[in-house]
Structure 1
């Protein structure tokens, strides 16, 4: 099975850590976050891994090499210009009919094989792994009608959302919806698929998930990885 890891971003939200260091090599415990992902994939028999690089690509390629150390085959595609999360997929050559795609800064316990199998079972063109997040508003929120009169008043409400985990399964045909050299985000790709009448399935996950793109989340990841290491790394 093939997995594509998107590791070309500059990690601007993690500055100053990422000024001279690529975000996928940021350590979580004794491992770079990208190594944790590769170890997880290898344990689930993903034997072909393609890493899309850009910012400080040489450091990532030097660390991971051909993947022999983890029992996988690692290939690279390099963005000459930033292509965003979906645009980089146009650089893939000879990709499999269905393949996993994920951001290179995600700490999660999701079962990637089960995600791929569900994608196949649903017959979807693309599948998005989602999880629930709550957003609390620390103010009184008013509903106001067109005449300016109050219709509702809720003190410090909480809202519940299904959010993308940055983990997807795509069919090979999805690449046809991306133009050569186009900078395109994954949300826009899914909207194109939907507009074309293609099915995009949402895989609701109850697994642990943390995007380490921000400094406070990175610090939280350090603490929780040490506390629950066996859930992330299967030796």
Structure 2
């Protein structure tokens, strides 16, 4: 979205605004002064009311624009704020800098949230179990419908307002870098870290020093899921966690009646009960301060950190994924995902 298409000078006329609205096929423009600071919002409704009240087509837009307009900024863009704007039926909202200038425009019909997090995607694996498919193509770039596996995850993150993504690469890394570049095509910033040797899930993360937010999302790139990242983040914040792990419910049904016993006696029966356990889903939210405590460049798996947090009395929580989740590690998993993607709405 080109911000300049939605900006109009405060001295421009109503006729100028009508031409611009017609050209961009939008219903809202943002009025700026000589210093590029936003001073109002202008809709086609404001123009109609101005003309009804006697304004001419040569009247300047500042005279009729809404001076008390809605916007978001770094301190005022919480999930609750975005939900409120949606309830009000607002589609286009400006993100304002400290200087009062528009940094970007957010289409609330396309953007699900503005999460204040950085993200890391782990994409360095060889994909041995998927050979020969991965002999010339890194597993994250294997096609799934109309795009590669990893691109679904990047697009999901971008859809929740995540703008700073780092991809950890190793095997056939040049192909991943060539495909995504610096992320400009998707309106985000993508950086890369090269793993010279396997460092585990979080060993590579420990080497990153360019995080911009206090919370970091870490995710395996070969997952195919529709996890609600906003709900995951809200759970993380509300539970005051140091780390949260997305979890997959795993049900086990016992095909017999189970006896409940004590002191050598049968106290009750439970007929063919089902027990639910929660498995690690390979998606984590972690405080940046926790990552900074890791030994830089040393091997560290997510389970190592989780155990360390438990041992030290820190807060480790879990978030059950409601929706689909496929770990594409084996040929049968890849085939399952290829079939499943056919039925997902674009």
TM-score bracket, shorter-length normalisation: 0.7 to 0.9
- Counterpart of 1:91 in structure 2 is 207
- Counterpart of 2:311 in structure 1 is 195
3-state SS of 2:125 partner: coil
How many Å apart are 1:160 and its aligned residue?
3.9
Once residues 178 and 16 of structure 1 are traced to their aligned partners in structure 2, the CA distance between those partners, rounded to angstroms, is 36
- Counterpart of 1:75 in structure 2 is 191
- Counterpart of 1:109 in structure 2 is 226
Once residues 122 and 82 of structure 1 are traced to their aligned partners in structure 2, the CA distance between those partners, rounded to angstroms, is 32
Equivalent residue in structure 1 for 2:165, among 24, 44, 49: 49
TM-score, length of structure 1 as denominator length:
0.84
- Counterpart of 2:244 in structure 1 is 127
- Counterpart of 1:209 in structure 2 is 325
Once residues 3 and 179 of structure 1 are traced to their aligned partners in structure 2, the CA distance between those partners, rounded to angstroms, is 20
Q: Please list the CA deviations of residues 170-223 of structure 1 after superposition, one character each: whole Å capped at 9, or x if unmatched.
A: 001222442232122111111111111111011122221111111101000000
Gaps of 5+ in 1: 141-156
| Aligned-residue RMSD, C-alpha | 2.1
Gaps of 5+ in 2: 1-116, 257-272
Once residues 37 and 199 of structure 1 are traced to their aligned partners in structure 2, the CA distance between those partners, rounded to angstroms, is 26
Per the alignment, do residues 136 and 57 of structure 1 end up closer, same or farther by CA in structure 2, a change over 3 Å counting? farther
Equivalent residue in structure 1 for 2:149, among 16, 23, 33: 33
Higher relative contact order, chain-length normalized (CA < 8 Å, sep 6+): 1
Q: Please list the CA deviations of residues 69-107 of structure 1 after superposition, one character each: whole Å capped at 9, or x if unmatched.
A: 111111111111111111111111132211111110111
Per the alignment, do residues 137 and 22 of structure 1 end up closer, same or farther by CA in structure 2, a change over 3 Å counting? farther
Equivalent residue in structure 1 for 2:335, among 195, 214, 219: 219
- Counterpart of 1:169 in structure 2 is 285
TM-score, length of structure 2 as denominator length:
0.58
